[in-house]
Structure 1
Amino acid sequence: MLKYLGLDRPFLLLAKKLLFSVVRTHVMSDGLQSLGLSPDKPVVYVLQRRFLSNILVLDKEVSAAGLASPLAELTHQGVRESRAFFFTTRAERWFGRSSNVGYSPRLARLVQAARNRADFDVQLVPVNILWGRTPDKESSIWKLIFSESWAPRGSLLQLFTILLHGRQTLVRFGQPISLKELVTDTEDEERALRKIARVFRVHFRQQREMAIGPDLSHRRTQVEGLLETESVRAAISALAAEQGGGASAMLKAEEKARHYAWEIAADYSYPVVRVFHRFLTWVWTRLYDGVELSNFETVTGVAPDHEIVYVPCHRSHIDYLLLSYIVYQQGLMIPHIAAGANLNLPIVGGILRRGGAFFLRRSFKGNPLYGAVFNEYLHMVIARGNPIEYFVEGGRSRTGRLLQPRPGMLAMTVQSFLRDSNRPIVFIPVYIGYEKLFEGRSYVGELMGKPKQKESLFSLLMSVRELKKNFGKVHVNFGEPIKLAEVLGQSHPEWRNEPPLEESRPAWFTQGIRELGQRIADGLNSAAVANPVNLVSLALLATPRHAMDEDQLVAQLDGYRRLLSAVPYAARSQLTAMDGRAMVDHCEKLRLIQRHPHALGDVMHFYPEDAVLCSYMRNNVLHCVALPGLIACLFSRNASLSREQLANLTRTVYPFLRAELYLRWQPDELEAALDSYLAALVEMGWLSSSPGREGIFHAPNLNSDEYAQLALLGQAVRPALVRYFISLSVLTQQGSGVVSTDELEGLCHLLAQRLSLLREFNAPEFFDRAIFRTFITTLKQAGLAAEDEAGKLTFNGAVRSAAAESRYVLSPDVRQSVLHLTRLDRPTVEQALARLASKS
């Protein structure tokens, strides 16, 4: 390496000019300002690889932050050093061999001063500089040589790396470490130096793994390794035995296993990732007004010592492209993504596979060999430290609500962890919120009864037309990390002492998977972002004709902002910074709402074809207003209620709302949440309390603006309450032990469908069968209903009591309509169910 320490300033200026003509640096953190450096102690920077280019990059970023240059002299408490940095490795020769070994002389002198002087200390700041990023791949010698990797490199290779990858130079500053604290309690200077070397060796290894991932072998090696694992060999032998045994059957079974492995395995390619990055940068610019990112420090905080599993909500095919793009942009290794086999299209499948996708079939049932190969592949990916990503909902939500978490991938991940729990696993919920949906039109068609459209290369090419449209902003918010070991410990404290899992899963394992799915769903909802489109949709869809006076709409939106600011749904939830007027203007520019000029004030309303689509956007954040919406619904039907009445009615309804919308409050947290919302509604003037009668609350005057605003808030949850009343009315009308779960679900679906035609409920999701299925399941879990030996639903008096309490929340005409529809005799019921079955 050049002995730059004695070089004069003109040479350094020339070197900088030449270097930064081809180099562009990206600081992957909030920079030096966020480190909380003490002004009383000097800073000494720690670099790993000993190159002049690294020093020049460091000097540029430090100077940009307004701090003293690492090339400047360091003077503190009588100690003087010519420079304020050192390397953890010694000089490299041209072809990567270390010319000598040992510790930095500057570090040795600083350690000696820190040990011998009580008043001497410096802040050590590790700086990781990566010139291009790629995992090691045996299939490409050029990537191995010229990209950032685990192999040592000499000055010649560094020169080629700068020329090829200089514009992809990542810089990350680590947290400052007190030298005094590191050397305290060490017996001698040699031990102190070894300790410091170990600390920074671990730090730089973790940072490198975060950015470029662990070493990867060639895909063919991966496949052949999978076929040699114990579980896959057992599955191959079992299949061969079923086919008659013998060498020929064994060869056919092995070939089938090999075919499955090739079908599943990713084939990560750094050049493809780079092309993806360039292409997606162009796509986001064409499609969106920007991508707003929140709480990414969540990921960087756990990435060094955890295996990360990203679990985003699934609203669009854009989701996995967007998340990988963000992770790459933030300087971390992109995840391996579990993609449905339906996306393994000609050409497209190969490109996705090289971008980190691995493919799985929707069901492994009846194919133990495929299940064994996939399980082993997933375990291999996790064991090697690759971050992974999958959607716990299974498929894309067609209604905007969070779907029931599916246990498949969660169970396989937990099984892998139980086999090898040395590296802890952490799940990161990722909320992705759109202002307009790329697949919006197809979703509306499916909700209206059209068959689901299959993915194809043709449909992908046709979607290019959408690039001409403006889809607003995208909001990506990273939720609270969920540590798998903690979840297992809560459901089964002795999980570490359990024997290896057999084919039959014990009750504690199933319970742990259920609890993990619930925690992830809660985490996704807790990271929700209430954007302008969500709130405008929430307000307009609450009106009969989906239209409002502009000033009234602005006031309603400002009210929602005040409520969600006063009582945020969760600590990580986000709220738009726009006021009501700005939200209306924003949605008008997106062509989501239109203005009808009028002499008495303009009227804002949806475009006729967009009302159903906007119900999707409303449902993204419906859980954020569910509890205050329930309170508002109660007061829109009752002039006064006591705190005790409110609590009793809320406790009756809450389990069903929580199951449907994945509300975050546990039953013992409900009272405190109720009090918080009551206080906020009173502060806003949407409710009032009696000065002389503590615990009594009143609705506003019927003719006031406040009452109108309260009623619109209540309308957000009223359709859900109507569905509950339909279910309870059908069940009680038919009688205990008469209908099965499937029959009740089908009847409720038909009746809700008919009621939506008669009373103009504003979305096909009102009669979604899945929602009724969730309600019936919750009835069973709450002990209000059960199945007898014949599979028929039985219930107790509590069901009739719950149905009777609908008078507190539903208007008489709605209750009468539901009761009229549910008075069906058994022949009519059987005929309706038969017609429904024939359509299915």
Structure 2
Amino acid sequence: MIPKFLKKRMFKAPVISDTTISHDVAQLSDNDKIATTVYTKAPINQLYRKLSGQVLDVAVKPKLLGELPEFAADDKTLTFYVLQDYSRSNSILIDLQTQEYKLPPALVGVKDSVHQIDENAAIVFLHHPKAKNDDLSPRLSRLIAATLQNPALKIRLVPVSILWGRAPEKEDSLFRLLMIDGWEDPSITKQLFNIGMMGRDTFVQFHAPQDLRSLIYESLHDDVAEPAHSTDSANLNDETSTHEAVTHALVPSANANRELVRTLQQQLNIYLDKQRASMLGPDLSDRRNLVDKLIYSPAIKHAIDKEATATGVTVREARILAKGYANEMVNDYSYPIIRIFDRFLTWLWTQLYDGVDVHHFERVRELAVDHEVIYVPCHRSHVDYLLLSYVIYKRGLSIPYIAAGDNLDVPVLGPFLRGAVAFFIRRSFRGNALYTAVLREYMHTLITRKTPIEYFIEGGRSRSGRLLPPKMGMLAMTVHSQLRQTNKPVVFIPTYIGYERIMEGGTYIGELKGKPKESESLMGLLKVSRKIERIFGNVHLSFGTPLHLTDFMQKFDVPADSLPADRTDTPLDAKASAMVDNIGIKIMQNINKAAVVNPVSLLSLVLLSAPKAALDEDICREQIALYQNIARQLPYADDTVITDMSPQHIIDYGIKLKLIERIPHILGDIIQVAGKQAALLSYFRNNILHVFILHSFLAALVARNGRIERSRLEGIVAQMYPFLQSELFLHYSAHSLTETLNQKIDNMLSHGLIIELGHGVLSVPDANSRCYQQLKVLATPVGQSLERYFMTLALLAQQGSGNLTVEEVVDLCHLLGQRLSVLYADDIPDFFDRSLFLSFVNALIRLNYLQKDEETGILIFDNRIDNIAHHAKYVLSPDMMQILQQVASLDEAAIAHAMNEINNKKQRKFGRKR
């Protein structure tokens, strides 16, 4: 449960300068009198503070984390900053920060004669060397007493975190580094080292302001409804009588007052501890001790005994094997390596990118305090995990432990990644029960120790720009751990990563076209480093809507703590397995909801939809503006971000990145895709294809038929929608699809792209109009998806029911797609992507159009396959349908030859992996 205290409240307060400020005293009754508050620089130690501040300002360059609290100019609320431990250097540092950011000053004398407040500083230390009464904070005690005695007094507390370095401590280390600020309270000596050694690695975060009176009322009387507090001074008199009456009834005795101070002080301590934990991460064991704890845990002892019994080896030999597995995977966190990465990546991003744009991060910061955070980003590039960790670190949260494939555990690179909180897992370990047990227990250890984790649910990097079907292994392990032992509630953070150029672009296209995948190595890294001088534009990170595991557990009726805590091999039941599948799909949908429609992806979508990938510059600008207006007026999702760059600037930007070029012409310049860039641009188009796909489908139906009844149009889209949804992880539900389609049709009507003739008939605009040309361009993107579907259906129909397995259908479609792309589709790599054909076949099975024989794997179907293919005539031209039919027509000899070659290729690939 989250304490009421932790609820975020934002208050407006005056910006107070270093000069003396006085408020006039209103001519009111004693009960209604407004305080005369005077802020003065305290005379005591004034010279010391001034000199110390000057020295600290030179030695320390703190980095601000998070958002600054917002304060209004007309508020009379007193502001006090809350620090956990007494420290002169921290006090001066906070004062310097409040001056720099124009916040109410910290090192001021605060005098208020009406409300009996006379403090020589606006800082509350929860642990103070002068504390008496069981270590209660003297200043907090006085402020609470004054608040209880004066109903009109308004005080806000602003908790502040200060970190001198950000290294988590080692649980079992014999020597703790003096200069690193971990969990131990800094002594004077340590603080001097902090200033001297870590002054350039200091972090400050001002947390959400808290109203002291609200905290008091919540602590004293949770069962009494608190009167609404307004920061508007006009409402103050309306509330005063109510507050006064309640206050007189609630003023506690001296003993009760001490308990109240102790309660609030404890709440503030807990709050700052949680904030500190979210920034530093949990305490750490050194790697050797962590491996030993893992191997001798009850769950792994049980797995070792089972391994020994199953394989006939001794328990000692099985334990040595398990320890070897643990050493393969367990990370070796090194703060010096983190600092090296910080400096290197800061330089690298400056060299590579014009900027790193981050969206919706504050939702993550709020959740990190009380939740076990699992980051689940899409996987576009090797840069992903470095970039995401860098962004998280720079914004003040603990770096997640990253599940990385052991293909990255190569000399030089591997140890560095392991030191930067990567843990390595094998790409495949099916059938290895002991390895699975060790990995599950390690994941369980990380989760129960409240360690943030990151893994790529797609498994590998997308070669086409679309999201890949989710692999549920790591997700199932996360759920398995939570059902064994609930600690913090688990929350998944779907994260969209969008680039405007990627280093691996050429490699991806080659791999899609059949070139063998290059294994990761130091030499490969050096090859990539040659590209640092190239321009890569901006990169975009967008943190999607969080998904809470508890919500899914309630939906699927999966009870907490329902698995044995001392076992890793207890299988998930049917409900839990269905829940895992549903979470995986929702993660993918929420990643796509958080998409960033950046200039390059938008430009790619427009130009690749045009004949010969070229448009008149005026038409290109209009088409870009059309797509921007469609996306803004009818957003794909609340989290979707649309570039605000103007169409002309987008064109100029694409030319700057050397992705497109302008061809001068006397009748008007032409914008076209630069030489050999079409295949690469298709990657960026696919990043945002889901945002416009239904608009494109509707446009294709109207454009192909000239006119069509709205009801007919909706019927065709409804039958084909599940396949598009499966391919692109669209979030629209089936039961609301009609409403969604009507909204999109109305949106297209408002832009003049289609015309309503009456009686529910939709028509194209005049063939000579700009709107008609825009409709034709908008209709193009959906075509390739429908062409793949029709080709697959044609192959199934031509071969007949009961003749092919799923794998054979996918392999043959993959080969046919390659052939079609080379002969007819300008070599666009979409037809080379095997995962797209697999997604379509799986959707056919899920919707019961295909049935798979459990013993043989053979696919069985009826004439409904032909019924689906029948809809293709409403979108595809007769010529394209004929081409697809011809390509899909294979005799038995051709199929036998193709399958033999495919099997040989797979065996060679498997041999290389071995």
Q: Which TM class, normalised by the smaller chain length?
A: over 0.9
Consecutive unaligned residues in structure 2, runs of 5 or more: 1-40, 222-251, 907-914
* 2:168 alignment partner in structure 1: 135
* Partner-residue secondary structure (3-state), 1:234: helix
* 1:88 alignment partner in structure 2: 126
1:182–1:195 CA contact under 8 A, matched in 2:
no
- Worse-superposed segment, 533-542 or 250-259: 250-259
Alignment partners' CA distance in 2, 1:228 and 1:38: 62
> What TM-score do you get using the length of structure 1 for normalisation?
0.94
Listed one character per residue, the Cα deviations across residues 261-293 of structure 1 (whole Å, up to 9, x for unaligned) are 111111111111011100110001111111011
What does 1:746-825 correspond to in 2, within 5 Å?
Answer: 746-788=811-853, 790-825=856-891
Alignment partners' CA distance in 1, 2:177 and 2:118: 37
Alignment partners' CA distance in 1, 2:505 and 2:105: 53
Alignment partners' CA distance in 2, 1:179 and 1:757: 70
* 1:728 alignment partner in structure 2: 793
Please tell me the residue identity of whatever aligns with 2:299: S
Is residue 582 from structure 1 mapped to residue 618 from structure 2 by the alignment?
no
* 2:100 alignment partner in structure 1: 64
* 2:51 alignment partner in structure 1: 14
The RMSD of aligned alpha carbons is 2.2
* Partner-residue secondary structure (3-state), 1:608: coil
Alignment partners' CA distance in 2, 1:63 and 1:347: 45
* 1:165 alignment partner in structure 2: 198
Aligned residues: 826
What does 1:382-461 correspond to in 2, within 5 Å?
Answer: 382-461=447-526
Query: Which of these residues, 176, 179, 183, is aligned with residue 146 of structure 1?
Result: 179
Query: Which of these residues, 663, 676, 688, is aligned with residue 730 of structure 2?
Result: 663
Compute the displacement of 1:85 (Å).
Answer: 2.2
- Worse-superposed segment, 607-616 or 402-411: 607-616
Listed one character per residue, the Cα deviations across residues 619-650 of structure 1 (whole Å, up to 9, x for unaligned) are 11111111111111111102222221121111
* 1:46 alignment partner in structure 2: 82
Alignment partners' CA distance in 1, 2:728 and 2:683: 14
Is residue 226 from structure 1 mapped to residue 294 from structure 2 by the alignment?
yes
* Partner-residue secondary structure (3-state), 1:559: helix
* Alignment CA distance shift 1:169-1:512 (3 Å): same
Is residue 697 from structure 1 mapped to residue 697 from structure 2 by the alignment?
no
Is residue 208 from structure 1 mapped to residue 276 from structure 2 by the alignment?
yes
Alignment partners' CA distance in 2, 1:455 and 1:575: 35
Compute the displacement of 1:569 (Å).
Answer: 1.3
Is residue 479 from structure 1 mapped to residue 544 from structure 2 by the alignment?
yes
Alignment partners' CA distance in 2, 1:304 and 1:37: 31
- Worse-superposed segment, 74-83 or 449-458: 74-83
* Partner-residue secondary structure (3-state), 1:24: coil
Is residue 517 from structure 1 mapped to residue 517 from structure 2 by the alignment?
no
Alignment partners' CA distance in 1, 2:495 and 2:206: 25
* Alignment CA distance shift 1:262-1:751 (3 Å): closer
Is residue 337 from structure 1 mapped to residue 402 from structure 2 by the alignment?
yes
* 2:435 alignment partner in structure 1: 370
Alignment partners' CA distance in 2, 1:170 and 1:360: 33
* 2:382 alignment partner in structure 1: 317
Alignment partners' CA distance in 1, 2:296 and 2:904: 48
* 2:681 alignment partner in structure 1: 614
Listed one character per residue, the Cα deviations across residues 299-358 of structure 1 (whole Å, up to 9, x for unaligned) are 101011001111111111110111111111011111111111111111211111111111
* Partner-residue secondary structure (3-state), 1:145: coil
* Partner-residue secondary structure (3-state), 1:331: coil
What does 1:454-469 correspond to in 2, within 5 Å?
Answer: 454-469=519-534
Please tell me the residue identity of whatever aligns with 1:91: P
* 1:95 alignment partner in structure 2: none
Please tell me the residue identity of whatever aligns with 1:528: A
* 1:490 alignment partner in structure 2: 555
* 2:263 alignment partner in structure 1: 195
Please tell me the residue identity of whatever aligns with 2:54: K
Please tell me the residue identity of whatever aligns with 1:232: I
Compute the displacement of 1:502 (Å).
Answer: 4.7
1:313–1:431 CA contact under 8 A, matched in 2:
yes
1:592–1:607 CA contact under 8 A, matched in 2:
yes
Consecutive unaligned residues in structure 1, runs of 5 or more: 93-97
Compute the displacement of 1:64 (Å).
Answer: 3.0
Listed one character per residue, the Cα deviations across residues 89-116 of structure 1 (whole Å, up to 9, x for unaligned) are 0129xxxxx9995222222122112222
1:46–1:125 CA contact under 8 A, matched in 2:
yes
Compute the displacement of 1:653 (Å).
Answer: 0.9
Alignment partners' CA distance in 1, 2:641 and 2:688: 11
* 2:145 alignment partner in structure 1: 112
Query: Which of these residues, 704, 710, 733, is aligned with residue 643 of structure 1?
Result: 710
- Worse-superposed segment, 141-150 or 647-656: 141-150
- Worse-superposed segment, 632-641 or 331-340: 632-641
Compute the displacement of 1:397 (Å).
Answer: 0.7
2:332–2:418 CA contact under 8 A, matched in 1:
yes
Compute the displacement of 1:469 (Å).
Answer: 1.0
Please tell me the residue identity of whatever aligns with 1:564: A
Please tell me the residue identity of whatever aligns with 1:459: G
Alignment partners' CA distance in 1, 2:109 and 2:824: 80
* 1:24 alignment partner in structure 2: 61
Compute the displacement of 1:7 (Å).
Answer: 2.7
* 2:234 alignment partner in structure 1: none
- Worse-superposed segment, 813-822 or 771-780: 813-822
1:305–1:423 CA contact under 8 A, matched in 2:
yes
2:600–2:650 CA contact under 8 A, matched in 1:
yes
Alignment partners' CA distance in 2, 1:441 and 1:489: 46
Alignment partners' CA distance in 1, 2:203 and 2:760: 59
- Worse-superposed segment, 713-722 or 635-644: 635-644
Compute the displacement of 1:781 (Å).
Answer: 0.9
* Partner-residue secondary structure (3-state), 2:59: coil
Compute the displacement of 1:571 (Å).
Answer: 0.7
Percent identity of paired positions between Structure 1 and Structure 2: 39
2:287–2:331 CA contact under 8 A, matched in 1:
yes
Alignment partners' CA distance in 2, 1:99 and 1:349: 53
Compute the displacement of 1:686 (Å).
Answer: 1.1
Please tell me the residue identity of whatever aligns with 1:89: H
* 1:235 alignment partner in structure 2: 303
* Partner-residue secondary structure (3-state), 2:621: helix
Alignment partners' CA distance in 1, 2:414 and 2:804: 46
Compute the displacement of 1:754 (Å).
Answer: 2.8
1:232–1:376 CA contact under 8 A, matched in 2:
yes
Compute the displacement of 1:137 (Å).
Answer: 2.0
Compute the displacement of 1:509 (Å).
Answer: 2.0
1:91–1:100 CA contact under 8 A, matched in 2:
no
Is residue 544 from structure 1 mapped to residue 611 from structure 2 by the alignment?
yes
Alignment partners' CA distance in 1, 2:407 and 2:602: 34
Compute the displacement of 1:823 (Å).
Answer: 4.1
Please tell me the residue identity of whatever aligns with 2:277: E
1:492–1:512 CA contact under 8 A, matched in 2:
no
1:32–1:65 CA contact under 8 A, matched in 2:
no
Alignment partners' CA distance in 1, 2:62 and 2:813: 60
Please tell me the residue identity of whatever aligns with 2:141: A
Alignment partners' CA distance in 1, 2:819 and 2:423: 43
* Partner-residue secondary structure (3-state), 2:205: strand
Listed one character per residue, the Cα deviations across residues 782-830 of structure 1 (whole Å, up to 9, x for unaligned) are 1222124654322233322221121111111111222333344444444
Compute the displacement of 1:396 (Å).
Answer: 0.7
